[in-house]
Amino acid sequence: MRLAFIGTGYVGLVTGTCMAEMGHDVICADIDKKKIQNLKKGIIPIYEMGLEELVERNIKEGRLTFTTDIRHAIEESEVVFNAVGTPEDKKTGQADLQYVFAVAESFGKYINKYKIFVNKSTVPVGTAEKVSAIIKKYNKKNIEFDAVSNPEFLREGAAVKDFLNPDRVVVGVSSERAKKVMEKIYKPIARIGRPIVFTDVKSAEIIKYASNAFLATKISFINEIANFCEKVGGNVKEISKGMGLDSRVGNRFLQAGIGYGGSCFPKDVKALIHTGKENGYEFKIASAVDEVNQKQKLRAFQILKNRMKNLKGKNVTLWGLSFKPRTDDIREAPSLDTTENILAMGGNILAFDPVAEENMKKNFRTKKIKYFSNPYLALKNSDVLMIMTEWDEFRNPDYEKMTRLMRGKIIIDGRNVLDRSEAESEGFEYFGIGV
């Protein structure tokens, strides 16, 4: 089928490329001229395992093209996927839908035959109705269309795998015609036995927020248990294992640490809370989840502050800057707040991350942060090591080498990737989260 993706950010680029890999003819459109020029050359703006190879192959085979001509993309496609951003309003937590509405306006202007408008972006319940109203306003020829909700469930760092072999695909439709078209699009996924779940449009919109809020709840819950362990004793790693072996609970998202970040969980939890208020409902659990996470993101810094008292002139090494491993995304990452607070107290930062350095530099333009090409170089004359991201290469460190390089012998492990007894046996003062 001929598909268009408006917006070549994380969701649009990954989804559009994977649709091309499944055999569809895909046009990815964006108003960012430089980004489109780079994509035509195979230059990828995000770090995502396996994506570069898929983009290159599908461009070569003619199934994937890039353009800044939004009109062309809409007119030439049977189905148009809206994949623009829905950033959080920092004051209210509300999802900003201005870009979604702009795409809907363009769709209404340029629709030339029956088409489907698909919201792939994460949007609050009721957005499809608003989008439909906008399309009708600009659809002067009253050409038939359907508005569909098809939320994405991609994990950064595993997005290609998640799309091609998903737990499920959720599609909210309001007509049998739209359902048949969406079934055709996802036929390659259905063939490998993955469920395609069809619902009404509003239920599909809610499923996305409910899923992310529930996973965020598991994270904040285990972080509260970890904080409790620090008060009364107990090892949260053992507790997580004991809980996770219960099939009703499961072991995923039960790793204690310094909170969740990224482009989804923080934004989606806040948006759900705000949408509840708009509709006269208070999400008490989601509100508590958000409150716990905001505090937890500063847990490693609190440990540092309590232990060091004065950071003026001290060198603090940060291992990991991204909000999670296998991505260069630092949005809402605990490293951001931690960095701000260390700098505010007069400390210097020696930083290493395999892929997120350039994004960090965009946020902090100061000589008090130095970046290094490997984790050990970042330890020279360091007073304390803080582990902010659970990259695999941090799990088995060379303690002897660390001792030679570091000025101090303090480790604050914000992700519990190290073994306390092993670190302490090597002469380090170790602080984990609930262990």
pLDDT (tens digit per residue) in 139-196: 999 999 999 999 999 999 999 999 999 999 999 999 999 999 999 999 999 999 999 9
Shared domain for 52 and 85, answered yes or no, is yes
Q: How far apart are the first and last CA of the chain?
A: 53
DSSP state for residue 154 in the 8-state scheme: P
- What pTM, to 2 d.p., does this model score? 0.93
Taking the CB of residue 167, how many other CB atoms lie within 10 A of it? 10
In a domain, 70, yes or no: yes
Percent of the chain with pLDDT over 70: 100
As a whole number of angstroms, the distance between CA 225 and CA 6 comes to 42
Same domain, 8 and 134: yes
Active site residue ranges: 264
User: Range of 244's domain?
Assistant: 209-296
| pLDDT score of 241 | 97
Q: Where are the alpha helices (H) located in 91-196, listed in sequence order?
A: 98-110, 127-138, 159-164, 176-185, 187-191
Of 165, 199, 233, which residue sits at a domain end? 199
C-alpha torsion 69→7→331→418, nearest 10: -120
Longest distance between any two alpha carbons in the chain, whole Å: 76
Task: Give which of 168, 182, 178, 109 is closest to 147, Cα–Cα.
Answer: 178
Query: Is residue 364 located within the same domain as residue 426?
Result: yes
Three-state DSSP class for residue 119: strand
Q: Which residue, of 296, 325, 349, is where some domain finishes?
A: 296
In a domain, 96, yes or no: yes
CATH classification of the domain holding 138: 3.40.50.720
Secondary structure of residue 254 in the 3-state scheme: coil
Does a structural domain hold residue 370? Answer: yes
**Residue found under tokens 């008292």:** 309
Q: How confident is the model at residue 93 (pLDDT cuts 50, 70, 90)?
A: confident
Tell me which of 143, 165, 199 is where a domain ends.
199
For residues 6 and 129, membership in a common domain is answered with yes
278 and 343, same domain (yes or no): no
Please indicate, yes or no, whether residues 117 and 236 belong to a single structural domain of this protein: no
Does 189 lie in the same domain as 235? no
Q: What's the mean per-residue pLDDT of the chain? A: 97
Residue 204 located in a structural domain: no
Q: Using CB atoms within 10 Å of the CB of residue 38, give its burial: 0 to 12 exposed, 13 to 18 middle, 19+ buried.
A: middle
The two beta strands, 64-67 and 25-29, are parallel
Whether the Cβ atoms of residue 8 and residue 32 lie closer than 8 Å to each other? yes
Residue 102 falls within a domain, yes or no?
A: yes
**Hey, how many other C-beta atoms are within 10 angstroms of the C-beta on 37?**
12
Q: Are residues 285 and 314 in the same domain?
A: no
* Domain harbouring 287, CATH code: 1.10.1040.10
313 and 169 within one domain? no
Is 61 domain-assigned? yes
Tokens standing for 209? 């927020």
Task: Give the integer Cα–Cα distance in Å for 322 and 360.
Answer: 9
Q: Determine the residue type at 416.
A: N
Instruction: Name the DSSP class of 78.
Output: S
**What integer is the mean pLDDT of 401-429?**
97
What is the mean pLDDT of the segment spanning 272-290? 97
Give buried/exposed letters for 261-292 (b at 16+ CB in 10 A, else e). bbbbbbbbbbbbbbbbeeeeeebeebbebbeb
Tokens of 354: 């395999």
Question: Quick one: tokens of 242?
Answer: 């004991």
Is residue 143 classed as helix, strand or coil in its secondary structure? coil
Q: Do 412 and 338 touch, CB atoms closer than 8 A?
A: no
253 found inside a domain: yes
* Residues 234 and 335 occupy one common structural domain: no
Classified as helix, coil or strand, 79 is: strand
Domain total in the chain:
3
Same domain, yes or no, for 50 and 15?
yes
Range 295-301 average pLDDT: 98
165 occurs within a structural domain: yes
Among the listed ranges 47-61, 83-97, 103-117, 192-206, which one has the minimum average pLDDT value? 83-97
Q: Judge whether 2 and 77 are in contact, CB under 8 Å.
A: yes
CA 338 – CA 364 distance, rounded (Å): 12
**Residues 143 and 268 reside in one and the same domain:** no
